[in-house]
Chains A and B, each alone.
Chain A
């Protein structure tokens, strides 16, 4: 029995390095988990077919080479070496079976390739779309094209988060339940996803021709104006400047989105409803971002800690007169802003 088993073991050990090499070529040395690009057509169930095919070929060769393999016994170090080889083979096979199963399950759930076509952009395209988001187009007779990509909007939302963080810090915002970072991320992503969904729902009601992806892209690029305005006015605290920018830059990006929506909707009532809602939400969001996270209090200049003093002097403004003119809806304010305004109005 030993003489028959030994050539089988020899054949398996011969298949061992080959199995290892095969695996290395496909999986790339076991260094990554999400390796979508390394999974070619031999992955998945066909992997096992290939494996079984290979195995069968090996076994056929074993029967043919039984006589020749007996002479290679010398390198096995007798029974001890043979057992080590066999156990190593078994462990190897079990490892690969487990790995195959795990990678199959993973590729089912972690398939990010669904999103890949939405990130297929060039830098020049992103730049031109950013600039175009500020230019309203008058042509409303037939549907305007919206680029369905997610890279630009996602990066703009993250940029807005970064700018908000800067603004919250320099205005010494106090967040009671939560953290600065969490609030910033929640606000920006909540606005982008929430308002997009809401407008998409309204568009469905008003029979407008726009898909969810296009709405996400449109609103995302509309945040470019917000980024510019907030970046400038969080550093230069002139309120006349803010109102000017709010109307100009905010208004331009809103007009662009409105024009696109109008070109895709039929009927005056529907157009009014859809575009009015979007314009109101967009402009009010910019207003909210500015006032909620920007506190101007006279006299704080003396008591501020050193690093938080912005380079420009804070300009005292008539806060009670400005606020009613802006007519902020109470529902838009969160607890922080309410606390801030109560403090200001009591001065």
Chain B
């Protein structure tokens, strides 16, 4: 038993660490300083937050910014922009098969809700609005693609025109998926990432399809 008496924790194993409480955002409602500030301050602060998140989407790294301080302003701005640009000038009502404003809106938001429900049901630990936020922000590359396509369509139509637009849309579609994967993948159980990413792929595919097949009359 002589050896047992020497059992002790050696001094160089650290018995310390860090306990971090996730998402310690202070309750802003009771902070009277934000109620008394001017409207311009509020708007600028929100716009800066939205702009910061846009940067995170354009240069996707594994980061928590979109998840930590989620907001739905960015997705709303992007969705409205996309829907406005995709709206056909319905002068010629017979060819009216293109997406209208309400249709794009509904597709984007109900698609995002469906994907969120799916990822939660698969066992992901992301909250509802965080997921909506990420999916909405990752539409930014496709909105840029829409802008580029509209510019390209000002030139004369033809197969080269179509090829250019196809290339741009494919690149932006891949970018969207990479960006949303970077943010969403960590919240899924590791063996089910593919199951959660597939509906995201379908969602952005439908939006890309709407952008690619848009022809102004």
Contact = CB atoms under 8 A, between A and B. Distances in A.
Contact of B125 (A29, A37, A120, A122): A37
Contact of A181 (B70, B99, B117, B212): B99
B199 A158 contact: yes
Secondary structure at the A interface, as helix, strand, loop or mixed, is helix
A138 interface: no
A123 B121 contact: no
A95 interface: yes
B121 A119 contact: yes
Contact of B202 (A33, A120, A159): A159
A116 interface: yes
Contact of A308 (B21, B25, B27, B213): B213
Interface in A118-133: 118-123, 126
Interface in A166-201: 166, 168-169, 173-175, 179-182
B194 A158 contact: no
B46 interface: no
Contact of B195 (A25, A31, A35, A151): A151
A116 B121 contact: yes
A29 B213 contact: no
Interface of B: 21-25, 27, 29-30, 70, 94-95, 97-100, 103, 107, 117-118, 120-123, 125, 127-130, 157-159, 161-162, 165, 191-192, 194-195, 198-199, 202, 205-206, 209, 212-213, 215
Given A35-B128, A119-B123, A158-B202, 15 more contacts: A30-B27, A31-B70, A33-B127, A37-B125, A91-B30, A123-B192, A151-B118, A151-B122, A155-B202, A162-B205, A173-B97, A174-B95, A179-B103, A306-B158, A308-B213
28 contacts: A20-B27, A24-B21, A24-B23, A25-B21, A28-B22, A31-B25, A31-B127, A32-B127, A32-B129, A33-B127, A34-B120, A112-B117, A119-B121, A119-B123, A120-B123, A121-B195, A122-B192, A126-B195, A151-B121, A151-B122, A169-B209, A173-B97, A174-B97, A175-B97, A179-B97, A179-B99, A307-B162, A307-B165
